[in-house]
Amino acid sequence: MKIYADNAATTNITPEILDVMMTCLRDNYGNPSSIYTLGMNALRAIERAREQCARAIGAKTNEIYFTGCGTEADNWAVKETARRLRRTKGKTGIITTNFEHHAILHTCEALEKEGFEITYLPVDSEGYISADDVKNAITDITAIVTIMYANNEIGTILPIAEIGKVCREKGVVFHTDAVQAVGNVSINVVEQHIDMMSVSGHKLHAPKGVGFLYSKNGLTLDRFIHGGAQERGRRAGTENTAGIVALGEAMTIACNGIEERAAKVAVLRDKLIRELSKIPASRLNGGMNSRLPGNVNMSFIGIEGESLLLNLDIAGISASSGSACTSGSLDPSHVLLALGLPHEIAHGSLRLSINEYNTEEEIDYIIETVPKVVAKIRAMSPLWEELGNGNSFERFAPLLSPLE
């Protein structure tokens, strides 16, 4: 059996989106900046996709700016807003959380070197923050608040509408990285007081290499990539027409029937969590109050995430430990550390991110396979042995399920 359970890392391109994209690649090859019909057709296709993206989030068409990826949208929003507000209003403060995606965290680190002051709000042990936490952190120097909509590793969904309201009241720009949230929760940027929002195509069954930044009208958005006049002079470079067309289609599909789809996926998620929690000395990472329908994140003490993934791969299961962007490094996930977990627990984590294409049969196979793999690795694990095969980890006990 081959099971793909890493949809938070990327998704497959669905046949209907691939179809739209291939037709565009083949027929709509004109340069959208050219004035003859072939060019105009490409431009029209882009503007139609812009409309689709806008409609899906309750925005206006001219508030959507296509980018090369979600990371670029994050960089653009935070860097250019912070720099502009320092230049025009002397504001040097940025507020974010300690469990953002690296697209935000590393952007903030870069801005710190430019002299900005970054406040990293700590999330609680379940991976939540409140609008009050944000309100209390805002000061006279705050230029922008950037807080993710839903976390890519542990799936917690933050109270974005409330945070947006607080920022609006305080007159601070509010950006959210909604890459994981789009298609899983209903988003309306007007009702939720969102000023800027990042979206990525490849998390929504569109291809890699395309995304967009929503930036509310009335907010100045400075040019990010210099060159030609594309994206109303703000993001130069000949457009990725086929990618953009695919993203428009993907947004329309992803933002339709969210509740039904989410309810269906959540049933599978809950079954996975219920059954995998029976593994001794395990824990669920991230709370259940408000969680992405497809996210399961578990830790198993005495296990290295890497060996777990390799063994699952042999069994035909594609999963992840932490985020795709940090695998390859041996550092434990910054998200799990942000929950206050010790390294011993943060290291042995497994993220399964499922969606509506996963079947009940696949879920049952995962439930059958993971405990076997965990037992096999533990039998060879020096850490597990050092912990007396699980008999002497009192210091971790409050964080873990019982041994029996």
Ligand X SMILES: *Cc1c(COP(=O)(O)O)cnc(C)c1O
**Active site residues per annotation:** 325
Query: Is residue 203 a contact point for ligand X (CB under 6 A)?
Result: yes
145 beta partners: 95, 174
Query: Is residue 77 a contact point for ligand X (CB under 6 A)?
Result: no
Residue labelled with tokens 């930036």: 215
How many residues make contact with ligand X (CB under 6 A)?
14
Minimum distance from CB of 327 to ligand X (Å)? 13
Q: Is there a contact between 100 and 146 (Cβ–Cβ < 8 Å)?
A: yes
Q: List the one residue from 52, 96, 180, 333 that touches ligand X (CB under 6 A).
A: 180
Query: Is residue 71 a contact point for ligand X (CB under 6 A)?
Result: yes
**What are the tokens at 275?**
């059954």
**Could you give the C-alpha distances from 52 to 55, 163, 251, 252, 389, in angstroms and in order?**
5, 26, 7, 6, 55
Query: Is residue 101 a contact point for ligand X (CB under 6 A)?
Result: yes
Closer to ligand X by CB, 280 or 293: give it. Answer: 293
Report how far residue 254's alpha carbon sits from residue 181's, in angstroms, rounded to the nearest whole number: 10
Query: Is residue 103 a contact point for ligand X (CB under 6 A)?
Result: yes
Q: List the one residue from 24, 42, 69, 292 that touches ligand X (CB under 6 A).
A: 69
Minimum distance from CB of 107 to ligand X (Å)? 11
Query: Is residue 308 a contact point for ligand X (CB under 6 A)?
Result: no
Contact pattern from residue 111 through residue 150 relative to ligand X, giving x for each residue in contact according to CB under 6 A and a dash for the rest: -------------------------------------x--
Minimum distance from CB of 182 to ligand X (Å)? 10
| Candidate segments 188-196, 200-208, 226-234, 381-389, binder of ligand X by CB under 6 A | 200-208
Phi, psi for residue 203 in degrees, rounded to 5: -90, 0
Query: Is residue 320 a contact point for ligand X (CB under 6 A)?
Result: no
**Could you give the C-alpha distances from 177 to 62, 83, 184, 197, in angstroms and in order?**
19, 19, 14, 6
Minimum distance from CB of 211 to ligand X (Å)? 5
Alpha helices in 179-298 (DSSP H): 230-233, 241-254, 258-276
Alpha helices in 58-101 (DSSP H): 70-89
Minimum distance from CB of 177 to ligand X (Å)? 5
Minimum distance from CB of 44 to ligand X (Å)? 25
Closer to ligand X by CB, 41 or 241: give it. Answer: 241
Query: Is residue 265 a contact point for ligand X (CB under 6 A)?
Result: no
Closer to ligand X by CB, 180 or 355: give it. Answer: 180
Per DSSP, 266 falls in state: H
Using CB atoms within 10 A of its CB, is residue 273 exposed (0-12), middle (13-18) or buried (19+)? middle
Using DSSP, state whether 369 is helix, strand or coil: helix
Using DSSP, state whether 385 is helix, strand or coil: helix
Q: List the one residue from 64, 179, 247, 350 that touches ligand X (CB under 6 A).
A: 179
Q: What would the 3-class secondary structure string for 132-150 be?
A: HHHHHHCCCCEEEEECCCE
Query: Is residue 200 a contact point for ligand X (CB under 6 A)?
Result: yes
| Candidate segments 67-75, 128-136, 184-192, 351-359, binder of ligand X by CB under 6 A | 67-75
Number of Cα atoms under 13 Å in the Cβ half of residue 61: 9
Q: Is there a contact between 136 and 167 (Cβ–Cβ < 8 Å)?
A: no
Query: Is residue 176 a contact point for ligand X (CB under 6 A)?
Result: no
Q: Which residue sits closest to ligand X, CB atoms considered?
A: 70
Residues that bind ligand X (CB under 6 A): 69-71, 101, 103, 148, 152, 177, 179-180, 200, 202-203, 211
